[in-house]
Chains A and B, each alone.
Chain A
Amino acid sequence: MTTYVLRRLLLMLPVAFLVTVGVFLLIHLTPGDPALILLGEDRSPQAIAQIHQQLGLDKPLYVQYVIWLGRIAHGDLGRSITTHQPVGTAIAERLPATVELGLAALFWSLIVAIPLGTIAAVRRGSIADQIATGISVGGVSIPNFFIGIVLIFVLSVTWRLFPFGGYVAFTKDPFENLRHIVLPAIALGTAGTAINMRFTRSSMIEVLNNDYIRTAMAKGASWRRVVFIHALKNALIPVVTIVGLQIGGIIEGAVVTETVFTWPGVGRLAVESIFNRDYTVVQGIVLLAAFSYMVANLLVDLVYGWLDPRISYS
Chain B
Amino acid sequence: MSARLLELEDVHTQLTLREGVVRAVDGVSFHVDAGETLGIVGESGSGKSMTALSIMRLLPRSGRIIGGSIRFKGRELRDLAEAEMEALRGTDIAMIFQDPMTSLNPVYRTGWQVGEPLRIHRHVKTAASVAAAVGLFKKVGIPEPEKRAMQYPHMFSGGMRQRAMIAMGLSTGPSLLIADEPTTALDVTIQAQILDLLRHLNREFGTATILITHNLGVVAGMCDRVIVMYAGRIVEEGRTEDVFANPEHPYTWSLLRSIPRLDAEVRGRLQPIEGSPPDMARLPEGCKFRSRCSFAIDRCATEEPELRQVRSQLTRCWVTQGGVSLESQSDLD
A, B from the same assembly: yes
- Interface, chain A (partner B; CB < 8 A): 210-212, 214-223, 225, 230, 233-234, 307-310
Q: Which residues on the B side are within 8 Å of A221 (C-beta)?
A: 86, 90, 116, 120
Query: Cβ of B105 < 8 Å from any Cβ of A?
Result: yes
| Contact A215 B103, beta carbon cutoff 8 Å | yes
| Contact A307 B90, beta carbon cutoff 8 Å | no
Q: Which residues on the A side are within 8 Å of B82 (C-beta)?
A: 223
SS class, residues of chain A in contact with chain B: helix
| Contact B105 A222, beta carbon cutoff 8 Å | no
Interface size, chain B (Cβ < 8 Å) = 29
Query: Cβ of B99 < 8 Å from any Cβ of A?
Result: yes
| Contact A309 B154, beta carbon cutoff 8 Å | yes
Q: How near does chain B come to A301, taking the closest CB pair, in angstroms?
A: 16
Known: A212-B106, A218-B89, A220-B87. 16 other contacts (CB 8 A): A211-B102, A212-B104, A214-B103, A215-B104, A215-B105, A218-B94, A219-B120, A220-B88, A220-B90, A220-B121, A222-B86, A230-B105, A230-B108, A234-B107, A309-B106, A310-B106
CA distance A222 to B120 in the complex (A): 9
Say which residue of B94, B103, B152, B154 sits within 8 Å of A212 (CB atoms).
Answer: B103
Q: How near does chain A come to B150, taking the closest CB pair, in angstroms?
A: 11
CA distance A233 to B152 in the complex (A): 14
Query: Cβ of B165 < 8 Å from any Cβ of A?
Result: yes
CA distance A212 to B105 in the complex (A): 5
| Contact B95 A218, beta carbon cutoff 8 Å | yes
Say which residue of A210, A219, A233, A234 sits within 8 Å of B89 (CB atoms).
Answer: A219
| Contact B117 A219, beta carbon cutoff 8 Å | yes
CA distance A221 to B56 in the complex (A): 13
5 shortest interchain CB distances as A-B pairs = A220-B90, A219-B90, A220-B89, A211-B102, A309-B152
A-B contact count (CB 8 A): 72
| Contact A210 B90, beta carbon cutoff 8 Å | no
Query: Cβ of B97 < 8 Å from any Cβ of A?
Result: yes
| Contact A307 B107, beta carbon cutoff 8 Å | yes
Offer 14 A-B interface pairs, CB within 8 angstroms, sorted by A.
Answer: A210-B102, A211-B103, A212-B103, A214-B97, A216-B116, A219-B117, A219-B120, A220-B89, A220-B117, A223-B82, A230-B108, A308-B107, A309-B152, A310-B106
Q: How near does chain A come to B109, taking the closest CB pair, in angstroms?
A: 8
Which residue on chain B has the smallest CB distance to residue A233?
A: B107
Q: How near does chain A come to B75, taking the closest CB pair, in angstroms?
A: 15
| Contact A215 B89, beta carbon cutoff 8 Å | no
Q: How near does chain A come to B74, taking the closest CB pair, in angstroms?
A: 20
CA distance A214 to B106 in the complex (A): 14
In the complex, chain B residues 114-154 whose Cβ is within 8 Å of any chain A Cβ? 116-117, 120-121, 152, 154
CA distance A234 to B108 in the complex (A): 10
Query: Cβ of B58 < 8 Å from any Cβ of A?
Result: yes
CA distance A310 to B151 in the complex (A): 11
| Contact B97 A211, beta carbon cutoff 8 Å | yes
Q: Which residues on the B side are within 8 Å of A234 (C-beta)?
A: 105-107
| Contact B90 A218, beta carbon cutoff 8 Å | yes
Query: Cβ of B168 < 8 Å from any Cβ of A?
Result: yes
Q: How near does chain B come to A82, taking the closest CB pair, in angstroms?
A: 53
| Contact A308 B103, beta carbon cutoff 8 Å | no
| Contact B154 A310, beta carbon cutoff 8 Å | yes
Query: Cβ of B51 < 8 Å from any Cβ of A?
Result: no
Query: Cβ of B209 < 8 Å from any Cβ of A?
Result: no
Query: Cβ of B252 < 8 Å from any Cβ of A?
Result: no
Which residue on chain A has the smallest CB distance to residue B94?
A: A218
Q: Which residues on the B side are within 8 Å of A309 (C-beta)?
A: 106-107, 152, 154
Residue interface mask B222-239, A partner, CB < 8 A = 1: 000000000000000000
Query: Cβ of B315 < 8 Å from any Cβ of A?
Result: no
Q: Which residues on the B side are within 8 Å of A223 (C-beta)?
A: 82
Which residue on chain B has the smallest CB distance to residue A214?
A: B58
Q: Which residues on the A side are within 8 Å of B108 (C-beta)?
A: 230, 233
CA distance A218 to B116 in the complex (A): 11
In the complex, chain B residues 66-102 whose Cβ is within 8 Å of any chain A Cβ? 82-83, 86-91, 94-95, 97, 99, 102
CA distance A210 to B107 in the complex (A): 13
| Contact A217 B89, beta carbon cutoff 8 Å | yes
Q: Which residues on the B side are within 8 Å of A220 (C-beta)?
A: 86-91, 117, 120-121
Q: Which residues on the A side are within 8 Å of B87 (C-beta)?
A: 220
Q: Which residues on the A side are within 8 Å of B105 (C-beta)?
A: 212, 215-216, 230, 234
CA distance A189 to B103 in the complex (A): 37
CA distance A212 to B58 in the complex (A): 13
CA distance A307 to B97 in the complex (A): 25
| Contact B102 A212, beta carbon cutoff 8 Å | yes
CA distance A308 to B121 in the complex (A): 27
CA distance A234 to B106 in the complex (A): 8
Residue interface mask B180-211, A partner, CB < 8 A = 1: 00000000000000000000000000000000
Q: How near does chain B come to A226, taking the closest CB pair, in angstroms?
A: 10
